Amino acid sequence: MTFQKRRKTLRATLSSSACIRPGSVYDAISIRIAEDLGFELGMFGGSVASLAVLGDPDIALITLTELAEQMRRMSRASALPVLVDADHGYGNALNVRRTIEELEAAGAAGLTIEDTLLPQAFGETKTQLISLEEGLGKVKAALDARRDPSLVIVGRTGAVSIASLDDAIERARAYEAAGVDALFFTGIKAKAELEAISGATRLPLILGGAPEAMSDLAYLREQRVRIALQGHAPISAATKAVYDTLKALREGLPSKVLTGLASADLTARVTRETLVGARSALFLGTKR
């Protein structure tokens, strides 16, 4: 599947009447698993990118080059469309243009640009926002940098919890007027907040970090939410599995009695062993 087809698939999701939950992906194996399980979309979060690439917490240490290269690896491994958390665009509005260029070339189906002040300012312990004017400049720069018109660009804000609901709506309307394809909100804690946002905007909505009371997909559909994130459990589960396995081996447990390991069949499927074997036979003359 070409990059453009992946992007059109994401656009079809946003224009539908359904609300989906994407699979959290972070490397070649995780994206293949998500694809094989039937997920319509992968979500490559900034926090999991930092964990997978650097082993660091989500404090904006990862670089654009590292993020784009990881996306490139996933694009090679799977045709699953991926929405990338591009954080603040790695700098000012001109840096945002470069971010769009690199992630578009790496095969992202869509990406989000947020108005959080990143990295954290000296002496500040609370999350801060950039001004609406600066945020709007970043959004416009992102749209200007897009070369494939099917690439999805999403304006993201956490203003609901950082500033106020009114501020979040003002920012969303400005990003909407600038021409983004969807709006991404974090920090929404109550149905009344989501309903106010839905009533004040027109674009498809993407929701991150909502409480359990807002997990009903039928309700979210009514509020025009088309993508509802469900956290990044896969990388957390993988970390626990690796830890437990290495701990058991370190403590002397024989490898043949370990539990929770991938079967030979599962390993063959996610590594596309049959396909690789067929190519070896075709191009190298190997016997299957």
* Topology (CATH level 3) of domain 3-232: TIM Barrel (3.20.20)
The strand pairing partners of 153, in sequence order, are: 111
The sign one gets for the Cα dihedral 46, 52, 54, 56 is positive
Cα(197)–Cα(165) distance, integer angstroms: 8
The upper half-sphere exposure of residue 188, i.e. CA atoms within 13 Å in the direction of its Cβ, equals 30
Query: Which H or E run includes 104?
Result: helix 93-105
Q: In the chain, where are the structural domains located?
A: 3-232, 238-284
Task: Tell me the one-letter amino acid at 9.
Answer: T
Q: What are phi and psi of 153, to 5 degrees?
A: -115, 125
Residue pair 36/270 in contact (Cβ under 8 Å)? The answer is: yes
Cα-based angle 24, 26, 30 (whole degrees, multiple of 5): 75
Residue pair 71/64 in contact (Cβ under 8 Å)? The answer is: no
Q: pLDDT of the chain along its 288 residues, tens only?
A: 699 999 999 999 999 999 999 999 999 999 999 999 999 999 999 999 999 999 999 999 999 999 999 999 999 999 999 999 999 999 999 999 999 999 999 999 999 999 999 999 999 989 999 999 999 999 999 999 999 999 999 999 999 999 999 999 999 999 999 999 999 999 999 999 999 999 999 999 999 988 888 999 999 999 999 999 999 999 999 999 999 999 999 999 999 999 999 999 999 999 999 999 999 999 999 986
Cα-based angle 238, 232, 228 (whole degrees, multiple of 5): 150
